[in-house]
Structure 1
Amino acid sequence: MSGGRSKSGGSRWDERYVDHVLRPSYELWQQRYWEHFFALQQAHLVALVRAGWLNRSDARAIALALFRVEGSGLRGEPYQGDVEDLFFRVQEQLEAEAGEVAGHLHLARSRNDIDVTLYRMDLRRALLSLHEQVGLLSGALLEQARRHVDTIMPGYTHGQQAQPTTLAHYLAAVLDAVERACRRLEGHYPLVNRSPLGAAAFATSGFTIDRRLQAELLGFDGIVRNSYDAVAATDYLLPFLAECGTLGATLSRFNADLLFWASNEVAALWLPNGLVQASSIMPNKRNPVVLEHIRSRLGRVPALVQQAYALHANVPFGDINDTAENLQPVWHQAVDLLGAAVDLLARVVSELQVDRDLLRRRAGEGFSTVTELADTLVRQRGLSFHHAHAVVARLVEVGREHELPPSTWTPRLLEEVADSTLGRPVSLQEAELQEALDPGHFVDVRRTEGGPAPEQVRAMLDEARAGLEASERWRTDTHARLDAASQQRLQEVQRLVDGANPFDERRGDRSE
């Protein structure tokens, strides 16, 4: 066997090994790494020429072969079982195009550093894609919140009505959590975007090469300096997966609230027909199953994150399949599920409608405004909050015992309850009492920074808009840097094809 190929032309591998290991790996390379692999080949070719390991004639032949093989139908061809993996199939085709000199392309590298470089290129693409999807969700939350700054609704703690707030205040809270996820993705990108290429198996190579040039041509911010670390470490991936789990957990809680609001008993949220399904037997049903599909996708993400960590248990720190090839499909699935859930959720947020009147009415029920009544007794009658709390708590007990909602409370009832609780009467004017129990007033007076008062929420949304725009600029700038690196790499390769001097005098290199 030579070069990962069976000399007989058939497969030397057991059919089970082919079915369960080799073919899936081959197809994964075809699906996810094809463009990255040829970009890597081009960058490595330029670096070999710069280092003086290839003359211009051989480099030109290899460059042309790379263009031809990349544009061939090889990517779509099924695995035949006669080579170990796609690397060897491509190498075989390059030699068919360029001759024996194509073998020089493998100087100063190994499949080890090739693999981990491709993994990082694939991960940064996934990170940027997820960042964009999260940005779209942030935008949907922002726009929906702007529509509902004055939409009063009940807020809940421990599953029970607690105090009035606004839908915008709630959505702004979710938005803040989602935007923090964007910040963390941006902060994680520099850890991902370091090049392992040139590390070879793990000890570099006797063919000295400019690893920083390779990194530059592939759009990396720099290199993973220690060559052993370059092929062994996975700490560029695991924190990203942990972030996926964190974001998934946050969105799962938000989705649970949406499901609650969409239930028949609450009936506060309505989704358009394009996001609901009917029943085959019950004509009355409008099932918001999109939220169930979101829930199931988000629910699987933490399990996959745990699986990724489990693959590291008692595994040596080095190049090994457990934390290399076998780890990739795990994070692929986690990110695909999370991305689908984020995409669906962004659509739900954009399209949902709420019953404003119903929400406001319910915000005044369930004694949820009585905290403001206690506050009013402190402000207007000089009670300590401890005493005011005791009076209002007793009022709530009386209301529940005698089925007297706050809308029926009178100044006389307040006097009687205060007298029995404190030993002295305390009362308010009718207008003062009704204002204290009004959910709109409750919201309006909570003007502390971060509170639900409209001016506070608008300020938070303005700040969120600025953060969203900053994220969009970061993503645009990052894509621009990657595009510039790609253009630079292609120009360098084209210079080889054209027979121009491949050495950049600004780097202090000399032509042969």
Structure 2
Amino acid sequence: MSAPHEPEPGPAAARLTGRIRSTPSALLHEEVLEPQFTYEAEHLLPWYAAVEKVLALEYRRMGLVSPAEAAEIGRVLHGLTRDGIAADPAGNMSDLAFALEQHVERGLGHPVTAWHVDRSRNDLQATAQLLFGRGLLLDAAAALLDFGLAVHRLAERGTDLPMVGQTHLQAAQTMTPGFYFAAVSEQVQHTLRRLLATYDGMNLSPLGSGAMTGQELDWDRALMAELLGFSAPGRHALAGVASRAWVLELAAEVSLFGSALSRFTSDLMDWGSGPYGFIELPDELSGISSAMPQKKNYPILERIRGKSAHLSAYYFDMLLAQRATPFSNMVEVSKEAGANLRPMFATLGTTLRLFTVVVERMGFAEERMREAAEREFLGGLTLANELTLRESVPWRRAQVIAGRYVLAAHAAGLRPRQTSPDLLSAAAGEQGVTLRAPAELLAAAFDGAGELYRKTTAGSANPESVRALLAEQDTEYERLAGAWTGHRARVDAGLARIDELLGLSAPGSPA
């Protein structure tokens, strides 16, 4: 029985591999390959080109291509634009790496035999994707710094303004908006520090890992890593092409920060609501009701909180796309699992820009905030402390007496500053306690803004403590900005060095 007739290899199969005899199907091209090609050509092409330039330098160093050939390869790559390549099932199997290789070959004056010897798409793609992700992180860090500094300026405006602080959604203790927004600023700095650690952990070059077990030629992985702005080459070839842990780490940090943003936004939504009216946004950041002309809404806060939910959804998308996959080079991990990396950072950027303009334009309704603080019996803890420290009342009994006094004062229609020593003495008498100076106890406990200054611990709502913290944050913002600026400068310097070594000028300038 004769073997079935096999079709002749198509153009792509003939040029790219001897293993497959046909080009990708129309369905695969239209639904998967072309959209992936378009995305990578739009967003990752400069990074692919940078890696290829470094490889050309290495071929030159190893003596496999001449200096003139390396320079020519560099020039072809240097002039490449998105319009210069296209997904072509018959010509490049709709693969960006193949399209880039063929673009260079077409642009050379003569074939360069050794170019692309001992090479794999696996570490090329892993490196380009990591460079792309690193760039997204650098941009996000800049937006996060802008947001943090705006929050810090807002905190400085409100360090002495008393307002009600809540626990369990109930009035609890006196604080200030400066104290509150200093906490937001602390969270921003915490996130920036964690992202710096993530950057350091991910900033290891996969280039030289090959397909999975390393490469056969004497590639200088340390030099290639340095030129691409990495701190060092990754230490394990399989991890270089198989691991996308950096994607999950970035997404996890963004998700955690998004959760914190949602909580801060929830507070602002409460503060801006009718029953509170503590803050106000300008008309251009506000909305209206189509039916109720008396209303002024703040849908921008709803947008911020709503968008923060997407950040966690993106993290779970990436996590689920990686779990239970083999630890090797997999399209599922390298492309599908990271498909939402850019949308996640785009959403984070939008959320931060919206929140930044909110804190820059926010106004405090100072009289309403003060009046609300003066209306609540926020000095209950102070009264209990005073009962114990001045009158030697056991602490738990002091708590009962303070609570009984507040209950009686409410029943009598008193406000906190309308103190009644008789009511306090009566509450103490119910517990078998005789007070020596009830009026002094009440004056110490319910003196309005003075409650802030009774706090003595570092990190408290005491305005002096808040100002000290904000000064420390000032210094930390300078350090963090310097660290992130240094990372970007290292990347830029490496890319410039690559072009310099190839004898290339900046794009658009004369050679």
- TM-score, structure 1 normalization: 0.90
The residue number in structure 2 matching 1:45 is 56
Amino acid at match of 1:442: E
Within the candidate set 219, 240, 244, 1:234 is matched to 244
Q: 1:65 to 1:411 in 2, by over 3 A?
A: same
Q: 1:60 to 1:409 in 2, by over 3 A?
A: closer
Within the candidate set 49, 65, 76, 2:76 is matched to 65
Q: Equivalent residues in 2 for 1:51-450 (5 A)?
A: 51-68=62-79, 70-71=80-81, 73-74=83-84, 79-82=87-90, 83=92, 84-99=94-109, 101-102=111-112, 104-429=114-439, 433-450=442-459
| CA deviations over 1:48-84 (Å, ceiling 9, x no partner) | 111122123332332232233x157326x6x454432
Partners of 1:4 and 1:359 in 2: CA distance: 73
The 8 Å contact of residues 91 and 102 in structure 1, kept in 2 or not, is answered as no
The 8 Å contact of residues 408 and 423 in structure 2, kept in 1 or not, is answered as no
Amino acid at match of 1:444: Y
Post-superposition shift, 1:169? 0.9
Q: 1:5 to 1:305 in 2, by over 3 A?
A: farther
Answering whether residue 43 of structure 2 is matched by residue 32 of structure 1, we say yes
The 8 Å contact of residues 123 and 192 in structure 1, kept in 2 or not, is answered as no
Partners of 1:478 and 1:61 in 2: CA distance: 30
| CA deviations over 1:390-431 (Å, ceiling 9, x no partner) | 1111112223444443333311221122112224345423x6
Post-superposition shift, 1:435? 4.2
Amino acid at match of 1:61: E
| CA deviations over 1:132-163 (Å, ceiling 9, x no partner) | 11111110111011111101111111111111
| CA deviations over 1:295-317 (Å, ceiling 9, x no partner) | 11101111221121111222100
Q: Secondary structure at the match of 2:246?
A: coil
The residue number in structure 2 matching 1:22 is 33
Partners of 2:268 and 2:114 in 1: CA distance: 59
Amino acid at match of 1:38: A
Post-superposition shift, 1:432? 5.2
Within the candidate set 457, 472, 475, 1:463 is matched to 472
Post-superposition shift, 1:377? 2.5
Amino acid at match of 1:85: D
Amino acid at match of 1:240: L
Partners of 1:427 and 1:413 in 2: CA distance: 13
Amino acid at match of 1:440: A
Partners of 1:396 and 1:5 in 2: CA distance: 88
Is the deviation greater in 101-110 or in 89-98? Answer: 101-110
Post-superposition shift, 1:495? 7.4
Partners of 2:40 and 2:352 in 1: CA distance: 26
Q: Secondary structure at the match of 1:329?
A: coil
| CA deviations over 1:82-115 (Å, ceiling 9, x no partner) | 4322222222221211056356432232111011
Answering whether residue 485 of structure 2 is matched by residue 476 of structure 1, we say yes
Tell me the percent identity: 27
Is the deviation greater in 370-379 or in 135-144? Answer: 370-379
| CA deviations over 1:353-403 (Å, ceiling 9, x no partner) | 111121121112232222222223234333333232111111122234444
The 8 Å contact of residues 418 and 426 in structure 1, kept in 2 or not, is answered as no
Within the candidate set 461, 471, 475, 1:452 is matched to 461
Larger relative contact order, structure 1 or 2 (CA cutoff 8 Å, min sep 6)? 1
The 8 Å contact of residues 18 and 81 in structure 1, kept in 2 or not, is answered as yes
What number of residue pairs does the alignment pair up? 489
Partners of 1:201 and 1:22 in 2: CA distance: 21
- TM-score, structure 2 normalization: 0.90
Amino acid at match of 1:446: K
The 8 Å contact of residues 276 and 287 in structure 1, kept in 2 or not, is answered as yes
The 8 Å contact of residues 77 and 104 in structure 2, kept in 1 or not, is answered as yes
Post-superposition shift, 1:287? 1.6
